[in-house]
Amino acid sequence: MTAELVRGQNHPLPDTRLEIKTSVALPVLAGVTLGDERGTVRGAEWVAHPGSPSLPGVDVPGAASAEHRLAVDLDAVPGTVHRVSILLALLGDVTGFGALSAPFVAVTGREGTEIARYTITGLGSESAVIALELYRRQGTWKVRAMGQGYEGGLAALLGDQGLESPVDLAASILATAAPVSSAQDRATVAPVPPPASGPAPASGGRIDYAHPLRTAPGPASPSAPPSAPPAPEPRRTPPVPVAGDASGWSMDERLYNQVWGMFEDLARAVAAYRSACDFADSRLDRELDETLTDYRARGGGSNDAARATARARRDELVERAREVLDRDLDQLAAEVEVVEPALPVAYARWDNPVWHAHQPPVGEPMAIRLGDLHLPERTGLRIPLLVRLPLERGLWVDSGRGRSTAAGFLDEAELRRLALESAVAHAARLLAAHPAGGFALHVVDPAGAGAEALAPLVETGAAAPPARGAAGVSAVLEQLTERVDLLQMALRGGAVDALPPGLDRARQLLIVHDFPHGFDERAVTRLRYLADEGPAVGVHLLVVADREDAAAYGPLLDPLWRSLLRLTPVPDDHLADPWVGHSWSYEPLLPPPGSGILRQSLARAVAARQAKLL
């Protein structure tokens, strides 16, 4: 059955030899770009267009036309190619695709069976569009309905894919596309068998659309018996997930890229499902409105039957969309089950056995896990929230209630305790993820209210006793501010080698509990300075605070809050995703109740640091 795709929806490809058919109301340019895992096109040589219609595994038409057929052999594209993007671009003075009927694109297999189709709706002044994307995932290929339009035209599209000089490149490509204006002219560029030998015909002759890796059909022989139909290919089963199957120089990098690939797949799958549901609801509303305006059908129950039929069509669309979503989420869940046990300490949950045999690494990891993310369509499917290291911004563990439902069931003291325990767990993870002696902790607790939660850091020697009172706060902030000033001057002056020999080169993390209590205006100014300038020279903040407690400062602290990554000690859906418009639910990571793994990890990090000093 052909899949009717909506924007963002993906569908598995049962075949690797494909034909992409496009139909637009007037002649347009059709092309293909080959991108890596991130969608970046390495150069103009990876763009197929009328002036250069053939790439490994790809053949596109040699002229503009209202209808196109593009040949793709995914087995023949280079191994570094993970995304094959099908693009359409307007020619001449047309204001945008919105002035035309919606473009249509279909994917067919080698036997001509239609696999998926997509009508690109919602376009306006965009004059170039990525219609479809064929992408590689776990060794298999899928098609995704993109419909990503560009008001800046082909130049903006090429620039978005990482190509240099996109304006010049777009102009040269558009210059090669001479429109084909009639059905008779289009017939002259229909696919023909390639010549027996020699290169493809020169410009001005008949254009060969035949795929270089396909066997060209010869002339039919009247005496030859009809060939037997090819045996159907066995139905492909979903690929078996493998940990670390993404690209990367090391296993950590491959796992990092794989986790973010899982995040993207979950985001897109849910976005496609929600889009399908919205489309079904909007079509139902339109059809119900039409029944209300049809006065002739009011008698005899015709309106009731029409409304029942419209609702049945809506339910069928939603059910089909849910089946596709469940299929994709089941595959993702299977991948999570394989990937989670293989994660290194920096990415692993606290209950992962890898923590029990952990030793400080030789080098700094790519990222750190700060929690899990999930969406309401399947709350049990959790994707690790990985943040790149070194941290580009500080962290803020919110000890206030906010709008969290989970926080509403806790009293204020319990919520503050959980917030500080979460901060300690984040700090312990950062310490464990860095080489021995490569990370140092400082703690500020002006009122001494967090002694119990901070005990693991102090008792293992991972951090000195917290600074208390206004004087203690001022002393720590002054020390770190001077460090930032010194390192910045050395970096800007190119005199890093001239730094004092006794200067601790380790990254520094300042844990600030119960902010802004104990902070005067000067201390607040220094804290803001550390938040803005510290990350560039290895000084980072981890603030535990309720924003409402700082209301007395007015808007003075607003830039500080905006500069920090907000985390919560209880589940909350506060993480906004502007990419596809999701609100992600965040789940904090804490050691299992009664577990000593956090103290054990801290003790090992301290022992390794002391051994390095000997």
Tell me the per-residue pLDDT of 437-479, one tens digit each, with 9 for 90 and over: 999 999 999 999 999 999 999 999 999 999 999 999 999 999 9
Mean pLDDT (the chain, rounded) = 84
* Euclidean distance between CA atoms 176 and 157, whole angstroms: 18
pLDDT given at position 362: 86
**Topology match between the domains 3-187 and 362-613:** no
Q: Is the pLDDT of residue 388 over 90?
A: yes
Tens digit of each residue's pLDDT (9 = 90 or more) over 268-305:
888 888 888 888 888 888 888 877 776 655 555 677 78
Return the number of other C-beta atoms located less than 10 Å from residue 1's C-beta: 6
Q: 107-111, 136-140, 160-164, 461-465: which range is least confident on average?
A: 136-140
Q: What is the biggest distance separating any 2 CA atoms in the chain, rounded to whole angstroms?
A: 102
For 208-231, the three-class secondary structure string (H helix, E strand, C coil) is: CCCCCCCCCCCCCCCCCCCCCCCC
**What is 3-187's CATH number?**
2.60.60.30
Tell me which residue of 410, 416, 340 sits closest to 372, measured CA to CA: 340
- Residue spans of alpha helices (H) in 434-506: 451-459, 469-492
Tell me the pLDDT band of 213, cut-offs 50, 70 and 90.
very low
pLDDT given at position 500: 79
Over residues 191-220, the mean pLDDT reads: 32
Tens digit of each residue's pLDDT (9 = 90 or more) over 49-82:
998 999 999 999 988 888 899 999 999 999 899 9
Q: Is the pLDDT of residue 180 over 60?
A: no
The token pair at 39 is: 């969608």
Q: Is the pLDDT of residue 95 over 50?
A: yes
* Euclidean distance between CA atoms 277 and 318, whole angstroms: 6
pLDDT given at position 445: 95
Tell me the pLDDT band of 207, cut-offs 50, 70 and 90.
very low
Run of H or E including 19? strand 17-35
SS3 content of the chain, % helix, strand, coil (to 5): 40, 25, 40
pTM exceeds 0.75: no
pLDDT given at position 294: 62
Over residues 143-160, the mean pLDDT reads: 90
Tell me the pLDDT band of 228, cut-offs 50, 70 and 90.
very low
The domain 362-613 is placed in CATH, from the list 3.30.910.20, 3.30.365.10, 3.40.50.620, 3.40.50.300, at 3.40.50.300
pLDDT given at position 237: 60
Tens digit of each residue's pLDDT (9 = 90 or more) over 343-386:
999 999 999 999 988 888 888 889 999 999 999 999 999 999 99
- The ranges assigned to domains in the chain are 3-187, 251-342, 362-613
Q: Is the pLDDT of residue 182 over 50?
A: no
* CA distances (Å), origin 491, targets 160, 479, 480, 496, 530: 33, 19, 16, 6, 17
User: To which residue do tokens 């639910």 refer?
Assistant: 585
Amino acid identity at 239: P
Give every strand in the sheet of 378-388, ordered side by side. Answer: 378-388, 367-375, 582-587, 572-577
Sequence-distant (6+) residues with CB within 8 A of 43 are 163, 164
